[in-house]
Amino acid sequence: EASSDLPHLHTFGLDGNCDVRMQHLDIVQSYATMDPRTNMTHALCVSGDAKLSLKDCMITNECGLCVGVGQRARVSLREVVVSNSYGGVVFFDSAFMGFG
C-alpha cells in the first residue's frame, strides 16, 4: 500500500480537465438503503461502472454543512471536501456539478 502505488491519493479537482477518475471514491449514503443487486448498504462507489444512484446520497462540506445530491441536482460543490477510501482528500472544485 505504498503511496507511490496509489496515485489517486493526491488531491484533485473534479472538472472537465480532471485526469484522475472517481473510481476509488466512496461516498456514504445519508441513510442505509440496500441495493438488491449488490447488497451494498454503506457506501456508493462512484465510477464509470457505478451500479448505484446518488439520489439518496448526502455529502458534508468542510464547513459541516450538508449538501444534498439529488437525481437532477445542480448544486454548488465548490467548497465540498470528501475523503476517498484510501484516506486521500478529494476537492470538488467546479462551480456546478450535476449528478444523475
Residue 18: domain span: 3-98
Number of H helices and E strands in the chain, helices first, is 0, 8
3-state secondary structure of 14: coil
1 Cβ neighbours under 8 A, 6+ residues apart: 86
Which pLDDT score, from 0 to 100, does residue 42 have? 40
pLDDT of the chain, 100 residues: tens digit per residue: 333 343 333 333 343 333 333 444 445 444 444 555 555 444 444 443 333 444 444 554 445 454 544 433 333 344 444 544 444 544 443 333 333 3
Overall domain count for the chain:
1
Alpha carbons 86 and 97: distance in angstroms, whole number: 23
Alpha carbons 53 and 95: distance in angstroms, whole number: 22
